[in-house]
Structure 1
């Protein structure tokens, strides 16, 4: 009964969040266009962002902090499996459950607001799918890289807040980047956050033509490889300098 109540309250919270965003964008856009943006575009935008944020929600820094403080990190390192993929697999399992129970009902309801939406062709849909997968993996790498800082600073309850804030602001998860001033748009191109959900949505809405999809996809791949390499170097450095009290 406890888990049922928690699940139902989480579903209600997700539906309320979706309703608030839809009402807000309907009030701002109405049924017309604003800077080339339709109301149905924003419905798709909200749905995709909700899916990505739910699937990649993680607080790896706090998990590592607790393991370092109580010394259980020593046993985690000795296991014959990758600690990184152990963390990501457990997070993905929990988040996949949230996607099924929280996001799918919202998608069903959101479908009623998509009348007249212009969906991409087969090429655009394939590019969107590839970009979305890369965005999910990129967000996992970002949370893992930030989480490894827990080995150095230990008290890191605030790191998840920074990741969330940077993703919201420079990733355009709350307000699309096409509404941003040119200066902030230029800054976002130099950061990885826009490739998590914003660029996949651009492909879905046709703002980025399918023929030009290779650019955001290559940028996402480059950031994914760079963060993967950085994470490996940080992990090796952390393990070498790790000291566990009592062992």
Structure 2
């Protein structure tokens, strides 16, 4: 019991530090938000032009697609950057040694911070970008609390799955002296197969099948499809079961990969 209380105190501190860190850099937040709003306007204009001479595309109406795209753009900043860059920085600067020596599980601590930043950023995006979309683009977000609860649980599971994938991918940094290229590869694949650019139902059948066998759709396409009404709630049980299976496998692989890779540490700085 004392051990559990001790861990909870540590993780409460981790949550507090991550919230303060996110709220401290106001200029960075507003500059990123401005760029994000501009891209949202570009995306909406593009899709309105595509729908100008047709009623549906891949079975989706313009309203469904626009709602999906705007919501996906809100989620995009939460998943765009993985941990390959951070792993590379820690190894290059030599701080990986102090990170590993802290009296708390390394992956758990980073995961708690990751979820904290994700949901603080989501609240910011919904407040600013969501209000902008409702007022300017006349997008109608659902009012049913059950839909929002389903979305948040699905997003939690999806972000956890993507975190485990990023952890596995980040472990490659232990074998490399430069990780910028790895981050670019990860970001490019994510943009297509997560559903950030367009609903995955609009992809060719071969790419849709490939997307189903990758973890990226779990973090954006699946929760956003629930919130935008593309995926009905009667499929919720199978969706959560699939996400839990993904999470169990990815969590196990991420632990195994890290325990193996950490033996190969070569500190480049310090």
**Shorter-chain TM-score: what band?**
0.7 to 0.9
* Structure 1 gap segments, 5+ residues each: none
Distance 1:246 1:24 in 2: 47
The reply on whether 1:70 has 2:93 as its aligned counterpart is yes
CA deviations on 1:89-136 (whole Å, 9 max, x unpaired) are 444555555445555311101113345x58485654443332222112
User: What SS does the aligned partner of 2:50 have?
Assistant: helix
2:46 to 24, 33, 45: 24
Report 1:113-128 matches (<5 A).
113-114=137-138, 117=140, 119=142, 124-128=147-151
The answer on 1:138 being equivalent to 2:161 is yes
Partner residue, 1:48: 71
1:79-228 to structure 2, matched below 5 A, reads: 79-94=102-117, 98-101=121-124, 104-112=127-135, 113-114=137-138, 117=140, 119=142, 124-228=147-251
- In the alignment, the residues of structure 2 paired with residue 4 and residue 198 of structure 1 have an alpha-carbon distance, to the nearest angstrom, of 29
User: Displacement, 1:175?
Assistant: 1.6
Number of positions where the alignment pairs a residue of Structure 1 with one of Structure 2: 245
Counterpart-to-counterpart distance in 2, 1:77 and 1:149? 17
CA RMSD of aligned residues (A): 2.9
- Please report the TM-score for the alignment, with normalisation by the length of structure 2: 0.78
Q: Is the 8 A contact 1:177 1:185 kept in 2?
A: yes
**TM-score scaled to structure 1, two decimals?**
0.84
State the secondary structure of the residue aligned to 2:227.
helix
Q: Which has the higher contact order (CA 8 A, sep 6+)?
A: 2
Find the counterpart in structure 2 of residue 14 from structure 1. 36
- For structure 2, the residue ranges without an aligned partner over 5 or more in a row are 1-23
